[in-house]
Amino acid sequence: MSLFAAVEMAPRDPILGLNEQFNADTNPAKVNLGVGVYYDDKGKLPLLRCVAEAEALMQAAAKPRGYLPIDGIAAYDKAVQGLVFGADSAVLAEGRVATVQALGGTGGLKIGADFLKRLNPNAQVLISDPSWENHRALFTNAGFAVATYPYYDAAQRGINFEAMLAALQAAAAGTIVVLHACCHNPTGYDLSPAQWSQVVDTVKARGLVAFLDMAYQGFGEGIAEDGAVIQQCLAAGLDFFVSTSFSKSFSLYGERVGALSVVCGSSAEAGKVLSQLKIVIRTNYSNPPTHGAQVVAHVLSTPALRAMWEEELAGMRVRIREMRQALVAELKAAGVSQDLSFVTRQKGMFSYSGLSAAQMQRLRSEFGVYGVDSGRICVAALNSRNLKSVAAAMAAVIK
Ligand code: PLP
């Protein structure tokens, strides 16, 4: 008998499955709103100018590719810390943050999950209901029991904040709470600063472990605004985790550029934590790749390139906001009478459209408009060319 005879076929990744279906669709008017990727108004994946310029500079001074240190490029880790915590942050001056380069935001989450498993193997993990689909799988595979805290409230078209807070208040000390720092995926609904403050107070009072997932910094309100919860956690004196992704904000998806930062009580603790994070990395993939992190470090630490990045990021943020407004206007023009203004209150790349699974299936089969059955659509894949046809299709299934 073959060694692999008993291996079962794993279920397909639902979003990647949707992509395959999209690619096989022969409808010339098809539109893919399923993916979590930002496209420009021409429907193209952008290559940011700041990235191209940094690459040109790097090319002109091309270096051999030795191994990186286990925790990555020091200048990159420092630049990440400056961005996430603020360059003048006391916590950095005090050396209380351990930061490692990671393989995208996913890699940052995974390193943190593996470290937490060694630290507190019996902790429960709470993720939002709903959440990015990989949160559950990732923490489950790291060996944790994963449950949810209430988040989306379909009837209110928003967040069921009272229920969320009650769940956190009822959580056992040491529970790991995964929080979307901004631009909640998949719903698009973010907590207000006042609500964040209550969450942070609860995390502190109950002795919970906050794990902030920051995959979309700069896509909501702005770089500082989207990172405001970090400042609240610092002000509360929490020890906490932050995973960072530059996949979206630098349009560097395939380069796998991210990081994990762990805020500790002292620099001595940060040193010990860093040593443990390095063991997790060493025993998984030894050390990270060079290119993407070099680009990001270059851009973030060169004032002219950084200014260019901030401008390009603002351009992506504004375009998404414009698409939200235009979608609502087009739906209204197409005769949809219900109030869909909630779409403009959502932040980031995604919108929970409120459409049912049956309506999403109709969008696919009748109109070639691909979104997720949960009703999630990627607003960042709308553009001035496909907007009208998408709105017409949505109107047809809503009415
Ligand atoms: N976290 C959230 C909430 C995400 O939406 C994503 C990507 O879609 C990630 C993490 C992973 O980011 P990366 O592609 O950098 O691994």
Return the amino acid letter for 286: S
Distance from the CA of 346 to the center of ligand 1, in angstroms? 18
Mutate to test the pocket of ligand 1, among 38, 103, 106, 242 (most ligand atoms within 8 A of CB): 106
ipTM comes to: 0.99
186: three-class secondary structure by DSSP: coil
Whether residue 179 has pLDDT greater than 80: yes
Distance from the CA of 245 to the center of ligand 1, in angstroms? 7
Distance from the CA of 136 to the center of ligand 1, in angstroms? 13
Question: How do residues 39-65 score in pLDDT, each as one tens digit?
Answer: 999 999 999 999 999 999 999 999 999
pLDDT at 228: 95
- Supply the angle between the helices 104-119 and 267-282 in degrees, to the nearest 10: 110
Distance from the CA of 6 to the center of ligand 1, in angstroms? 32
Which amino acids are annotated catalytic? Answer: 132, 213, 248
pLDDT band (50, 70, 90) for residue 331: very high
| Ligand 1 binding site (Cβ under 6 Å of any ligand atom) | 36, 104-106, 132, 180, 185, 213, 215, 245, 247, 258
| DSSP string over 69-127 | PTT--HHHHHHHHHHHH-TT-HHHHTT-EEEEEEEHHHHHHHHHHHHHHHH-TT-EEEE
Q: Which atom of ligand 1 is nearest to the CA of 135?
A: 1
Q: Which atom of ligand 1 is nearest to the CA of 245?
A: 15
Mutate to test the pocket of ligand 1, among 245, 251, 256 (most ligand atoms within 8 A of CB): 245
Question: How do residues 300-309 score in pLDDT, each as one tens digit?
Answer: 999 999 999 9
Token code pair at residue 11: 């279920």
- Count how many Cα atoms sit within 13 Å of the Cα of residue 274 in the half-sphere of its side chain: 20
Question: How do residues 229-284 score in pLDDT, each as one tens digit?
Answer: 999 999 999 999 999 999 999 999 999 999 999 999 999 999 999 999 999 999 99
Mutate to test the pocket of ligand 1, among 109, 133, 185, 243 (most ligand atoms within 8 A of CB): 185
Length of the chain: 399
Distance from the CA of 135 to the center of ligand 1, in angstroms? 9
